[in-house]
């Protein structure tokens, strides 16, 4: 995962000029903060606070997926979001990635079933996540059992 | 997980742009 990136570190006390310049540019208020930039230097994702290694790697993968999404490369974005879910299923990044994988597929295909399928997937896992709540609006409404033309009481 | 952190931020940004690679920019206060 880390081979996808070039990495630079700015230390608050040892590099005060760089800290001021880049801290203001990216609105950094706390350490550690890791900002994921696309090749043009545009921020695509950030990690604030310490994370264990697996969660950190999951966030890096999520950042690459968000970057592809922001550049409207929806096929690549979906692939990368699903990779987060598969490789890091227990991470906090996984439910977010599952949500955005569905959005990326919808954006690529304009097929609303991509969103319905995502809502169904959240019925199977990550039910307690905030992302499951967000996806719940995509659930297909249950079929009415009433007879057409005869309103139910 | 070995990350080759560099201090020359401007050079990293330039190289990333030329190579089409993403960048991790770490703002740190950890003891060195």
Residues A113-153: tens digit of each pLDDT: 999 999 999 999 999 999 999 999 999 877 765 555 544 54
pLDDT tens digits for A6-15?
999 999 999 9
Q: With contacts defined as CB-CB under 8 Å, which chain B residues touch A34? A: 24-27
Q: With contacts defined as CB-CB under 8 Å, which chain B residues touch A11? A: 28-30, 32
* Residue A70 in this model has a pLDDT that exceeds 70: yes
| pLDDT at residue B31, as a whole number | 86
* Residue A30 in this model has a pLDDT that exceeds 60: yes
Model confidence band, residue A33 (pLDDT cutoffs 50, 70, 90): very high
| pLDDT at residue A3, as a whole number | 80
Q: Decide: residue B27, CB within 10 A, 0-12 exposed, 13-18 middle, 19+ buried.
A: buried
| pLDDT at residue A34, as a whole number | 98
Chain-chain contact of B22 with A63 (C-beta, under 8 angstroms) = yes
| pLDDT at residue A152, as a whole number | 53
| pLDDT at residue A146, as a whole number | 56
Chain-chain contact of A37 with B16 (C-beta, under 8 angstroms) = yes
| pLDDT at residue A36, as a whole number | 98
Give the pair of three-digit tokens for residue A9.
Answer: 């570190």
DSSP string, B1-32: ----EES-HHHHHHHHHHHT-EEEEEEE----
Q: Hey, how many other C-beta atoms are within 10 angstroms of the C-beta on B14?
A: 13
User: Cα-Cα-Cα-Cα dihedral of A4, A84, A99, A32, to 10°?
Assistant: -60
* Residue A1 in this model has a pLDDT that exceeds 70: no
| pLDDT at residue A144, as a whole number | 62
Domains, chain A, in order of start with CATH, read 2-138 (1.25.40.10)
| pLDDT at residue A2, as a whole number | 72
Give the pair of three-digit tokens for residue A122.
Answer: 């959240």
> Rounded to a whole number, what is the distance in angstroms from the first to the last CA of chain B?
18
Give A138's DSSP letter: G
Q: What are the backbone angles phi and psi of residue A58, rounded to the nearest 5°? A: -60, -40
| pLDDT at residue A126, as a whole number | 98
Give B8→chain A minimum CA distance, Å: 7
**Partner B contacted by A7 (CB < 8 A):** yes
pLDDT tens digits for A39-51?
999 999 999 999 9
State the residue for tokens 């996540």: A129
ipTM surpasses 0.90? yes
| pLDDT at residue A78, as a whole number | 98
């Amino acid at each position: 995962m880390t081979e996808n990136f070039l990495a630079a570190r700015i230390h608050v006390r040892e590099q005060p000029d760089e800290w001021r310049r880049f801290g203001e540019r990216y609105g950094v208020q706390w350490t550690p903060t890791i900002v994921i930039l696309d090749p043009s230097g545009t921020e695509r994702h950030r990690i604030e606070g310490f994370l264990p290694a697996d969660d950190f790697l999951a966030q890096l993968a999520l950042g690459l997926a968000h970057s592809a999404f922001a550049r409207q490369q929806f096929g690549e974005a979906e692939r990368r979001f699903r990779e987060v879910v598969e490789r890091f299923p227990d991470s906090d990044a996984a439910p977010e990635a599952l949500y955005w994988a569905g959005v990326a597929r919808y954006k690529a295909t304009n097929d609303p079933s991509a969103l319905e399928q995502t809502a169904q997937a959240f019925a199977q896992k990550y039910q307690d996540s905030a992302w499951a709540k967000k996806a719940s609006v995509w659930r297909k409404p249950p079929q009415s059992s009433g007879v057409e033309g005869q309103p139910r009481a | 997980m070995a990350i080759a952190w560099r201090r020359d931020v401007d050079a990293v940004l330039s190289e990333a742009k030329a190579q089409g690679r993403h960048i991790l920019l770490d703002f740190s206060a950890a003891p060195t």
